[in-house]
Amino acid sequence: MSAATEVTYLEAISDGLRQEMRRDPSVLCIGEDIGAFGGAFKVTDGFIEEFGAGRVMDAPLAENAIIGAAVGAAAEGLRPVCEMQFADFISCGFDQLVNVAAKMHYRQGLAVPMVVRLPSGGGFSGGPFHSQNPEAWFLQSPGLKVVAPATAADAKGLLTAAIRDPNPVCYLEHKGLYRYVKGEVPAGEHEVALGEARLAREGGELSVITYGSGVHLALEAAADLDEDIEVLDLRSLCPLDTEAILASARKTGKVLVAHEATQSCGVGAEVAALVAAEAFEDLDGPVRRLTAPDVPIPFSPPLEQAVLPQLDDMKEACRELLAY
């Protein structure tokens, strides 16, 4: 087993990408300012010096062209990793992603092994065009896989698995976790299977089912409240680990589904529906949700904090459900 080193979430993403590019010459990167500049958040800093401009390609300001070029490259046997500077900008490449990449295998039997890196989430006063959590957009597109790591180890492991997967994968990396989260990460190759949730904290009275930034809020709330709270980190949103979700719900009998994305038609809605349909007899209370309201993310810091779930919101939601 490789030795582990403590690194940030951002460093883990960079390390995972670099490891795969060294291991497999078919892996390449394409995106805006990812070469000499090293990417908007410096994930690809130093890559062009190591791998050259042929594998670290600076693209024009055209997300549709970036995704489209990646689809063609993947269909020809390469493994492109696209970087969107902000997840919000994927809307400009939506047609190529959901109408071409997601359907190629079904329509033509072609594998499309490509990854779209999506720096997502708020908490830094980026305003409504740089702070979205767009995961629900992709869950309605059969043919796409969607992952959202919460820890540094999973950031590396899930990216490795996404690059090696024969399907197009949307990889949501939360900007608020880039330098805030640190953890032990294997120094060599490290892969985390897609579709498997992680039990982040074991408990018996309440299950908080969450992912991404919500995991850290839930863990902090559970520690502050000193209650027997279980925290299930979904990690993979499609495929979804339904067995782990139902096992946790049946074990505790109370379920809080939490995420930073807006409420309507999101991951929380799917998890709540699954629990209500398959574990209703085991519940001791209603399935509750903690999400952002269905509004754009404000630019103003106080307004952004009012919109996005905060630690006090998580603690209050847990208290209410525990007392039900």
- pLDDT single digits (tens) 21-56: 999 999 999 999 999 999 999 999 999 999 999 999
Which residue's entry shows tokens 């990854």? 115
**What's the pLDDT score for residue 4?**
85
Fold match, 4-186 / 198-322: yes
Paired strand residues for 31 = 58, 83
Residues of the chain with pLDDT under 50: 1
pTM for this model (two decimals): 0.96
Active site amino acids: 130
Dump the DSSP string for 26-69. Answer: TEEEEETT-STT--TTSTTTTHHHHH-TTTEEE--S-HHHHHHH
Quote the Cα angle for 200-183-246, to 5°.
15
Fold of 198-322: Rossmann fold (3.40.50)
Assigned architecture for domain 4-186: 3-Layer(aba) Sandwich (3.40)
Paired strand residues for 69 = none
Domain positions in the chain are 4-186, 198-322
**What's the pLDDT score for residue 2?**
63
141: alpha, beta or left? (left if phi > 0; alpha if psi -120 to 50): beta
Contacts of residue 285, defined as CB under 8 A and 6 or more positions apart, other chains included, come to 253, 254, 321, 324
**What's the pLDDT score for residue 1?**
44
